[in-house]
Amino acid sequence: MTRLRDSVKYTHFEITLTEGRNRQVRRMVEALDSHVLKLVRVQIGPVSIGTLAIGHWRHLTPGEVTLLRHWPDGV
């Protein structure tokens, strides 16, 4: 977990999970007596969204498909 920035009311973190469970991040934060206001997924396995705009999508490249097929955990 990396603390990215603090504002007057909020603290922004980057959290990396290698294996996530349902609502795991929310539960972890609630265990610290705090609340999650927004979660943003930026990567799934070896595939990153990069600069993809909110609400947009793109086709996977052949290289990304190959990476996912050989990725040990699957998606």
Tokens 């294996």 belong to residue: 19
Backbone phi and psi for residue 27, each to the nearest 5 degrees, phi listed first: -65, -40
- Domain containing 28 equals 2-70
Q: Residue 21: inside a domain, yes or no?
A: yes
What is the DSSP track for 27-62? Answer: HHHHTTT---------EETTEE-TTPPTT---PPPH
Q: Is the pTM of this model over 0.75?
A: no
Is the residue at 27 inside a domain?
A: yes
In a domain, 75, yes or no: no
**Structural domain contains residue 61:** yes
Residue 73 is given by DSSP the state: T
Tens-digit pLDDT string for the chain (75 aa) = 899 999 999 989 998 888 878 899 999 889 989 889 998 888 888 899 989 998 999 999 999 999 988 887 655
Count of the separate structural domains present in the chain: 1
